[in-house]
Amino acid sequence: MSIIMILRVALKALGRNKMRTALTMLGMIIGVAAVITMVALGNGAQQEIEAQIQAAGTNLIMVRAGNFSRGGISGGLGSSPRLKAQDVDAIREQVPGAQYLTASVNTRDQVIAAGQNWLTRIEGADIELPLIRFWDVELGSFFTTTDVNSAAKVAVLGSVVRDNLFGEGTDPVGQIIRIRKQSFKVIGVMQAKGSGSFGEDQDDTIFAPYTTVQRKLRGRNGTNISGITISARSADDIQRVSTQITAVLRAQHKLLLGQDDDFMVRTQEDITSMRTQTTQTMTMFTLAIAVVSLIVGGIGIMNIMLVSVTERTREIGLRMAVGAKGRDVLWQFLVEAIALSLVGGLIGVGVGFAVAQGLTELLQWPTSVPPDAIGVSVGFAAMIGVVFGFYPAWKGAQLDPIESLRFE
């Protein structure tokens, strides 16, 4: 019997009981839809992570002060007083692959202006911060070297801070804001940038010279800083520059061989890897659940095909009596099982796309379905049909024609 004839007979048999066929495919539809949805969520989350990290700047290397302990009490990461402004100068002089650098001193405080107040992050930085993070000034200008050296009380607002203090789209350049009873003159507003690499709103920030934040807001007259952000000259230089920075800082802090670093160096690749690994772990966990759904769907197909073989015993006997061979019966039932799986898989792909799009529209959750995920899902559905449809098909092919004709 030709494959076309086998396919026609199989589809005709499935069409005799449409409700049972639809319910049999339901398990496969749910399983494939779950796979597509989980892959879409995982892939979308990974793309969002990469976009956020790229938004923070390119070729970034971040140095953070280590942990400071005294009397058995740990101050936590970033509390060590060993990281100083002089370390920035040493890296600038001794690491040629470091293109731009900025010291970092951060705090969080209530800001008052124009009869409004807003709790926000105050980031103390140097003049190269906009170059490191590819962040342009929308209104006014960024602060200068003179402002940094003199610890001038000037501020550059993020767009969220500007909108909440002065009104959306307002030009606040020249206005005065107050932070901890200190008056700061607004000299610029940064362009809107969105979420950062850790999900924070980068626009909900005020930038000021790091020396000003040290002395005026944190009450420190010394040179201690919280961190250093460096932009390497190229992506290929990141690991080499990171190693050189570690060596320079160990020499600056007079750390002996075997002593632990009192600082932490992280690159964009490190951050991407850590966040992607977490996302992949969750995706694999949910995919495992989806695969179980597919297997359950396959068991349902096998169960229905066994029932179908029993119901059609006389038909099988009649076909074999007029010349059909066992392999023809085997192929007929196997094609039916594969058809159930494939059609269910294709419908499941459509449902998965619809669910993923619904999550994007309703929850603003990023989703993206890679083309290979569709092929893998449909292929796996077909494999399920072969695996779970083979035994019923084989059982039908082994029936004795005489005994089958006698079956009631």
> Both 145 and 250 in a single domain?
yes
> Both 254 and 320 in a single domain?
no
295 within domain boundaries? yes
State phi, psi for 100 to the nearest 5 degrees. -130, 145
> Both 311 and 202 in a single domain?
no
> Both 281 and 231 in a single domain?
no
341 within domain boundaries? yes
State phi, psi for 325 to the nearest 5 degrees. -95, 165
Task: Quote the pLDDT of residue 71.
Answer: 45
pTM of the model: 0.57
Check: CB of residue 228 under 8 Å from CB of residue 144.
no
Local structure of residue 268 (DSSP, 8 states): H
> Both 224 and 347 in a single domain?
no
Q: β-strands 263-267, 116-125: how paired?
A: unpaired
- Reading the chain (408 residues) residue by residue, the pLDDT tens digits are 566 666 666 667 667 777 777 877 887 888 888 888 888 887 777 666 666 555 555 578 889 887 544 444 444 444 456 788 899 999 999 999 999 999 999 999 999 998 899 999 999 999 999 998 888 999 999 999 999 999 999 999 999 999 999 999 899 999 999 998 899 999 999 999 876 555 578 899 999 999 999 988 887 656 688 899 998 887 778 889 999 999 999 999 998 888 888 898 888 665 556 556 666 676 677 667 767 777 777 888 888 778 777 777 777 777 777 777 777 777 777 887 888 888 888 888 899 889 888 888 887 777 887 777 788 778 878 888 788 888 877 877 777 666 656 555
> Both 46 and 138 in a single domain?
no
Q: Name the domain boundary from 235, 261, 287.
A: 261
> Both 102 and 234 in a single domain?
yes
> Both 138 and 160 in a single domain?
yes
Overall domain count for the chain: 2
69 within domain boundaries? no
Domain span including residue 246: 81-261
Determine the Cα–Cα distance for residues 357 and 299; give it in Å rounded to an integer: 30
Show Cβ contacts of residue 406 under 8 Å, excluding neighbours closer than 6 positions.
317
Q: Residue 30 is which amino acid?
A: I
Q: Residue 396 is which amino acid?
A: G
114 within domain boundaries? yes
> Both 248 and 278 in a single domain?
no
pLDDT tens digits, 211-254: 999 988 887 656 688 899 998 887 778 889 999 999 999 999 99
> Both 382 and 297 in a single domain?
yes
Q: Name the domain boundary from 218, 233, 261.
A: 261
> Both 237 and 112 in a single domain?
yes
> Both 102 and 250 in a single domain?
yes
63 within domain boundaries? no
Determine the Cα–Cα distance for residues 224 and 211; give it in Å rounded to an integer: 10
Q: β-strands 182-190, 137-140: how paired?
A: antiparallel
Q: Name the domain boundary from 261, 295, 328.
A: 261
Local structure of residue 237 (DSSP, 8 states): G
197 within domain boundaries? yes
Residue 134 region by backbone torsions, left for phi larger than 0, else alpha for psi between -120 and 50, else beta: left
180 within domain boundaries? yes
68 within domain boundaries? no
